Amino acid sequence: MEKTIRRRALSRFASNILFCGAVLVTVLCVGYIANLEYMSAQYKDACEFYALLMAELVSFTCFADYIHKTM
């Protein structure tokens, strides 16, 4: 039989970081994007920046969770 790897859930610490960070990034970026002309170059760049910040937030949260669980 094959061994299955069981994933551990995020700790409460990491969940709080992820939730608060996602809310903060969304509010700031959506507020900025709302003031730009639709589909302009700055609009597209701001949307890409938002996606980049969200990806960075997820990777930071996973790293923080790893550190939190190993200490």
Q: Exposed (0-12), middle (13-18) or buried (19+): which is 11, by Cβ within 10 Å?
A: middle
**Could you identify the residue written with the tokens 């760049």?**
45
Of 15, 17, 25, which is closest to residue 46 (Cα–Cα)?
25
Q: Where in the chain are the domains?
A: 12-66
Residue 70 pLDDT grade (very low, low, confident, very high; cuts 50, 70, 90): confident
Contact call for residues 10 and 22 (beta carbons, < 8 A): no
Q: What are 4-60's pLDDT values in tens digits? A: 777 778 788 888 888 999 999 999 998 898 998 998 999 999 999 999 999 999 999
Q: How many residues does the chain have?
A: 71
Which residue intervals of 1-71 are DSSP H helices? 12-33, 41-70
